[in-house]
Amino acid sequence: MRITIAKQPKKTDTLVLPIKEGEHLTGKQKKALSKQTILDIESSIKEKLFKGKVGEQLLFKNTIIIGIGDKKKITKHSLKKSIGNINEPIKKLKATKISIVHEDANESLWLAASIFMNAYKFDKYLSKKDKKLTEITITGSTPEKTEIAKMQTLLESIYYTRDLVNSTSNDIDPNTLVEEAKKLAKENPEIKLTILDRKKLESLGCGAIISIGQSSTKGPYIVIMEYSSSDAKNPEQPIAIVGKGITFDTGGLYLKPSVHMNDMKMDKAGACTVLGLFKTFKDLKPKGRILGVMAIAENLIGKEAIRPGDIITAYNGKTVEILNTDGEGRVVLADAVAYTEKNYKPSKIISIATLTGAAIVSLGYDITAVLGTEKDLIGKIIESGEEVDEMCWELPLYPDYCEKVKGKISDLTNTGRDARAQTIMGAAFVQAFAGKTPFAHLDIAGTAWANEHKAGYPAGGTGVGIMMLQKFIENIYSQ
């Protein structure tokens, strides 16, 4: 995929012309069109067949007109919505190259990004592959080349992350997910890789992640990617991003209904997001020290599967009663967070996971739940999300609820003894392993996977979190 700039659109390109609500073609847009096409478009506007509202589209020969709404209300979110079902005319025109003609450089760049995010197609397992959109040229008013390069890096990482999340569990298992980390470390010498395999985890006393992965012949692993730039600020206090990497989740002996199990290849999305984020570092080179930690396992059934009521001992010595084997994500995160906290002394820990269905019940599929111990940290995450159109909403890590994950015959239980507020309970459990380190948790159960196509997000893995966490890191180290 490429985003380029030019003074004029190429004659062979499909044109995308954004028009604001109540407005007409601009002078630069008219220069790219034939006289007849100009007359046809202006006639449609005059007859109010096209008003320029968000989501409106018209197709004229090789030209797609899109409405981007009231000029006073244009946001990244509204621009993403404005490209709507643009895949249909692109497919109809068999377009592989597009030129955007628009007078605002920043809006053009975000439109280009949104079109690419929308055009993604997972065809890894198809014997016959359709032609893909390969290039978008921005004309009219053009962005800085550095901003284009940055956006292209982010888009490539989003595509990479989506491919990982969408890949089946017989393809991407714990072993192959570890191989992806090895590839990233090989490509970027500023990434140091540490792999804790089952034997090492056993010797360290990581009974939590072992208990979940013990029914599989593959894994479990805790993988630590340590990035540090030569000019890192505060290298002794890294930021740690810890991702859940359950490559398939049957629910264990608390077996999931089949309708909920079919897409459980996506339960590795948190770890895949960590990989995608670290993929950007080769080009974007953040000025800091960042840890990417992945808790990788399969939650399978079998004679070695953990049983409800079993009590295990985590890396930090805390005991956990397993009340629900389908609450496995927080259990694997427990050891990863505890190991990171003790051995790396991070300034802050952020966990990211498809952790609870309750997050979908409370916030739906468009908003990520964020919980944590410090208002400042949570605020910075929410602000970073807003900057890149990845909405987060804070749920309270209420102290009284944190008490509910404490056990009667063990230090903790993995679900609490109350079925309510499970998103909070899940975060409270993970936080119990972070010590006194400032902690935030992102529950992406609803946002990491799209059940159906929506603007910017084809059905399947979304790649949510890449842009937000990159922006968060950028903001932290620019202070």
Burial (CB count <10 Å: 0-12, 13-18, 19+), residue 431: buried
**Tell me, what amino acid is at 137?**
T
Every domain of the chain with CATH number 3.40.220.10 lies at: 2-119
Q: Is the pLDDT of residue 422 over 90?
A: yes
Nearest-angstrom CA–CA distance, 169 and 343? 31
Q: Is 76 a catalytic residue?
A: no
Enumerate long-range contacts of 74-80, CB under 8 Å, 24 or more apart.
74/20, 74/107, 75/389, 76/110, 76/388, 76/389, 77/389, 78/54, 79/107, 79/110, 79/111, 79/114, 80/110, 80/114, 80/117, 80/389, 80/455, 80/456
Nearest-angstrom CA–CA distance, 231 and 192? 16
Which tens digits make up the pLDDT trace of 179-221?
A: 999 999 999 999 999 999 999 999 999 999 999 999 999 999 9
Q: What pLDDT was estimated at residue 140?
A: 87
Q: Is the pLDDT of residue 416 over 80?
A: no
Options 28, 31, 53, 256, the catalytic residue: 256
- Reported confidence tier of residue 13, pLDDT bands at 50, 70, 90: confident
Nearest CA-CA partner of 286 in 229, 210, 220: 229
Q: What pLDDT was estimated at residue 42?
A: 95
Q: Is the pLDDT of residue 344 over 90?
A: yes
Region 126-133: mean pLDDT is 93
Q: Is 162 a catalytic residue?
A: no
Options 20, 265, 330, 380, the catalytic residue: 330
Q: Is the pLDDT of residue 405 over 80?
A: yes
Which tens digits make up the pLDDT trace of 230-289?
A: 887 777 899 999 999 999 999 999 999 888 899 999 999 999 999 999 999 999 999 999
CATH topology of domain 2-119: Leucine Aminopeptidase, subunit E; domain 1 (3.40.220)
CATH architecture of the domain covering 157-477? 3-Layer(aba) Sandwich (3.40)
Every domain of the chain with CATH number 3.40.630.10 lies at: 157-477
